[in-house]
């Protein structure tokens, strides 16, 4: 990667890949937000998300767009994994003083560190990345760490949307060597491991001034947050399948409309000429007769035939099956497999948990890594020795009732009693670790009561005998 080169009289440089990333981020953000606006946005290839088909009129396309419905699977999936990580215990240093002030309001906008991190990681799940500038002071005169320490300034964080990053150079583990950020219409900043360059822009975006200052940190004071591997959005595949589902739903609406509204086709009928079967007195062009809102035509011409035109129900069934397959594909991609596996066995349920929790563990590790980069900068800025934050390696669900139902369904399968008991104990220890021993006993009793309940089909058979 070449160094970022900012020159007086020229516009800011931009990585060649940033435009492609901007398209992807716009599409993923729209997929997450959902709503009626999704119908009119462009996908990551800069094409309309609702595909126009051959031989489709503009009127038909617009009607299909109006009737289409976007079923948003992207938002619940992102929120599910975010909740898994941030509803579980996170262990932070309990020091008082400046660190406690920072934890209570880390951005000087009233946001505590826990909520700041949660939002940053959620944005990284959607867009693939998020950035934070570590500022030493809000004073314009304070530039270096040394000046901030003399002023006893309290450091704070500045959230940066990835769309405002023009160029960057990173090394392993997403550690930033150099980054160019557009701050406002007339300002940009270039950070590297030694200096910060304050760049002034004119109205057309050309550089008219560059002031370089040593920032005083031992590393670049900008942290890059990612949720998954390689800065990839969690929605990269899910959003594509969700788009396909959206298009299938639009076709389904059109197909159902064809079946509801029946048309009749008349062959051998000329409404503008006299009916040759009628005598001279009655001979006259055929005319429509409207009765109760319906148009009727009567003729005695034996050569006229009427054919009923309507949709084929098998086509609608085929679309329904395709839509179901897409929903199952979304579940598979997200680690939330087809619910049918929950009925198979304890082994199948373990696979279900393992796939989902593996993604959550990756998000948790990356969140921990990013927050500890912030702590390194905080310790440099204040001279303190705040210890690293520990994020959870395993997770509690924000929706325990759902997990409980899943394990109950699995345990009702054909498993030996000893294996059922062992599975219950392991499940509770892994997913309900923060509960008191009394609460754990209650859950165990509830599971055992349901497991020991007689099978309803067996009761029906006994009654029949």
- pLDDT tens per residue across span 9-44: 999 999 888 888 899 999 999 999 988 889 889 998
**Per residue in 278-291, pLDDT tens?**
554 455 556 667 77
Mean pLDDT, residues 154-174: 90
**Per residue in 205-237, pLDDT tens?**
999 999 998 888 999 999 999 998 778 899 999
Tell me how far apart the alpha carbons of residues 190 and 196 are, in angstroms, rounded to a whole number: 6
The number of beta carbons lying within 10 Å of the beta carbon of residue 284 is 10
**Location of structure tokens 């002031």:** 211
Alpha-carbon dihedral of residues 374, 378, 384, 390, nearest 10 degrees?
Answer: -20
**Location of structure tokens 């051998």:** 268
pTM greater than 0.75 (yes/no): no
Confidence of residue 347 (pLDDT cuts 50, 70, 90): very low
Q: Which pair of structure tokens corresponds to residue 95?
A: 């020091």
Say what the pLDDT of residue 397 is: 45
- CA dihedral sign, ordered 76, 159, 216, 194: positive
Say what the pLDDT of residue 345 is: 43
Alpha-carbon dihedral of residues 452, 454, 456, 458, nearest 10 degrees?
Answer: 130
Mean pLDDT, residues 304-329: 77
Alpha-carbon dihedral of residues 370, 376, 378, 379, nearest 10 degrees?
Answer: 160
Say what the pLDDT of residue 208 is: 96
């Amino acid at each position: 990667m070449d160094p970022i080169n900012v020159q007086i009289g020229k516009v800011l440089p931009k990585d060649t890949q940033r435009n492609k990333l901007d398209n992807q981020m716009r599409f993923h953000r729209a997929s997450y937000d959902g709503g009626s606006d999704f119908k009119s946005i462009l996908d990551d290839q800069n094409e309309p998300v609702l595909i126009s088909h051959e031989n489709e009129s503009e009127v038909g396309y617009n009607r299909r767009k109006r009737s289409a419905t976007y079923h948003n699977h992207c938002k619940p999936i992102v929120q599910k994994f975010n909740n898994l990580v941030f509803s579980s215990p996170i262990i932070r240093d309990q020091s008082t003083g400046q660190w406690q002030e920072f934890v209570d309001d880390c951005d000087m906008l009233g946001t505590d560190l826990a909520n700041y991190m949660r939002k940053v990681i959620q944005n990284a799940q959607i867009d693939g990345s998020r950035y934070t500038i570590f500022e030493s002071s809000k004073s314009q005169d304070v530039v270096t760490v040394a000046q901030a320490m003399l002023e006893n300034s309290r450091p704070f964080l500045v959230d940066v949307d990835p769309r405002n990053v023009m160029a960057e150079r990173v090394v392993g583990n997403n550690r930033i060597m150099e980054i160019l950020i557009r701050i406002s219409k007339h300002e940009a900043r270039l950070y590297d491991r030694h200096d910060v360059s304050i760049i002034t822009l004119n109205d057309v975006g050309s550089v008219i001034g560059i002031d370089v200052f040593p920032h005083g940190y031992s590393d670049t004071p900008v942290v890059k947050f990612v949720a998954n591997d390689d800065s990839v959005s969690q929605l990269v595949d899910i959003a594509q399948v969700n788009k396909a589902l959206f298009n299938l739903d639009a076709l389904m609406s059109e197909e159902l409309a064809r079946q509801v509204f029946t048309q009749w086709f008349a062959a051998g009928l000329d409404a503008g000429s006299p009916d040759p079967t009628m005598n001279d007195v009655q001979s006259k062009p055929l005319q429509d007769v409207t009765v109760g809102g319906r148009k009727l035509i009567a003729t005695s011409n034996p050569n006229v035939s009427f054919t009923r035109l309507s949709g084929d129900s098998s086509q609608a069934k085929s679309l329904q099956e395709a839509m179901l397959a897409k929903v199952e594909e979304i579940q598979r991609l997200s680690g939330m497999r087809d619910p049918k596996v929950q009925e198979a066995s304890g082994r199948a349920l373990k696979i279900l948990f393992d796939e989902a929790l593996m993604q959550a563990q990756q998000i948790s590790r990356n969140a921990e890594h990013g927050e500890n980069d912030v702590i390194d900068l905080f310790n440099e800025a204040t001279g303190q020795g705040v210890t690293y934050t520990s994020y959870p390696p395993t997770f509690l669900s924000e929706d325990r009732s759902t997990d409980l139902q899943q394990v109950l369904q699995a345990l009702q399968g054909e498993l030996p009693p000893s294996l059922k008991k062992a599975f219950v104990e392991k499940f509770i220890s892994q997913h309900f670790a923060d509960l008191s021993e009394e609460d754990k006993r209650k859950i165990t009793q509830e599971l055992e009561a349901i497991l020991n309940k007689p099978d309803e089909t067996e009761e029906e058979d006994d009654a029949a005998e």
